[in-house]
Amino acid sequence: MMPIYLAGPVDWLTSQALYHALPVMGEEGVVLCWPTSPYVCIGRHQDLADVDPAAGVPVVRRKVGGTLVYLDDRQIFYQVILRPAGRNRTPGGWYRQALEPVVGYLREQGLDAELREPADILVDGRKVSGNGGGYIGDMAVVVGNLLLDFPVDRMAEVRASPHPAFRSAFRDSMRRQLTTLRRYPAFAELSMQAVMEGLAGTYAAYLGGEVRPVPWERWRDPVAAVGRSLIDPDWLAQERLSGRMQQVKVREGVFVRALPLADGRMLIAEVDTAARRLLAIWGLNESLPVPLDLAAVEQLAARGGPYAALPDLLEASGSLSRAGR
């Protein structure tokens, strides 16, 4: 049976080291926990420069994909480590196996939850959980968090910004696109422990698992060693693919993108990549009616000047930087 471990509150580095250490030990499992203090976690392919130098919190780089996230004790982490088999040999299969129990748990509480493939969970059309995954050794790993509450302003502060307007746009987009469980009556008074136990029960039902005691004595040394490797200066420092355009992911299919103009201004847009629409625009001298589809964007681009850059924002054709993918 799939072991399910209720680790509960752990220090910030352990909250990342746990799911990195299980593959090293050759163990499957579902780990549920939360950090006792805040930190920033960047994805495997992201640049440390994406973290604002004034962030004032520890930084760790994980070995799976995804973008920069601000993590604290108001988020429940679920970490699924498994040997891919059968229909779950592909990334889409891993994500469904790992995330369908979370969607099921939210629906059991009366919420209108859905999996927005490949890796977001939405409630009432707004993101309540972001997830990342990949191989660590020969194990497939999917990790994510449920937002009981989330400090949007703090998240905007810790993400490095090429321009003050970019930070403001990122903040505004998060307020529109994200939600938290505390907004719903079913979660208004639930403790972190209660949510963790509820998730554990749903994972057990979906995966044929059972809750087991956390084997801290056996795990302590491997977890500590892996944790040190995740904050090693050489691991944290990675080269970035340079580019004029920068973007940050808000939720699956929605990004905030920024492109410097020749006159020194910064053109910024909230972009729905699936629908190919601009949802909001900053940096022009006029307020445009949004959303704008591709046809409307191309019509505006014909005006020339800063408008000519709008298709680049929509199609990400401005030498997109890796940061924030």
Structural domain that includes position 166: 2-236
Give the residue from 174, 201, 236 where a domain finishes: 236
Asked if the peptide bond before residue 291 counts as cis, ω within 30 degrees of 0, the response is yes
Check whether residue 89 and residue 153 sit in a common domain: yes
Shared domain check, 269 and 199: no
Asked whether residue 196 falls in the same domain as residue 254, the answer is no
Look at residues 194, 212, 236 and tell me which one is the last residue of a structural domain.
236
CATH at residue 66: 3.30.930.10
Q: What is the pLDDT of residue 203?
A: 96
Strand pairing category for 209-212 and 2-10: parallel
CA 74 to chain centroid, in Å, comes to: 15
Asked if residue 325 belongs to a domain, the reply is no
Report whether 224 contacts 305 (CB < 8 A). Answer: no
Does 182 share its domain with 266?
no
Residue 113 lies in a domain: yes
135/251 same-domain check: no
pLDDT tens digits for the chain (325 residues)? Answer: 899 999 999 999 999 999 999 999 999 999 999 999 999 999 887 888 899 999 899 999 999 877 899 999 999 999 999 987 654 566 677 788 999 999 999 999 999 999 988 888 999 999 999 888 888 888 899 999 999 999 999 999 999 988 888 999 999 999 999 999 999 999 999 999 999 999 999 999 999 999 999 999 999 999 999 999 999 999 998 765 455 678 888 888 899 998 887 777 788 999 998 888 999 998 888 888 889 998 888 888 888 878 888 888 887 754 444 333 3
Residue 241: inside a domain: no
Amino acid occupying residue 116: R
Return d(Cα 64, Cα 123) in angstroms, integer. 25
Q: Are residues 156 and 269 in the same domain?
A: no
Same domain, 216 and 296: no
- Looking at residue 243, what is its pLDDT? 57
Domain termination residue (choose one: 201, 236, 271): 236
> Is the domain of 55 the same as that of 127?
yes
Amino acid at site 125: G
Q: What is the pLDDT of residue 320?
A: 43
CA 185 to chain centre: 25
Q: Are 282 and 268 in contact (CB under 8 A)?
A: yes
Residues 264 and 299 in one domain: yes
292-293 and 69-71 strand pairing: unpaired
Residues 232 and 261 occupy one common structural domain: no
Confidence at residue 44, expressed as pLDDT on a 0 to 100 scale: 82
Domain count, the chain: 2
Same domain, 23 and 92: yes
Write down the pLDDT at residue 220: 95
Report pLDDT digits (tens) over 113-153: 999 888 889 999 999 998 888 888 888 999 999 999 999 99
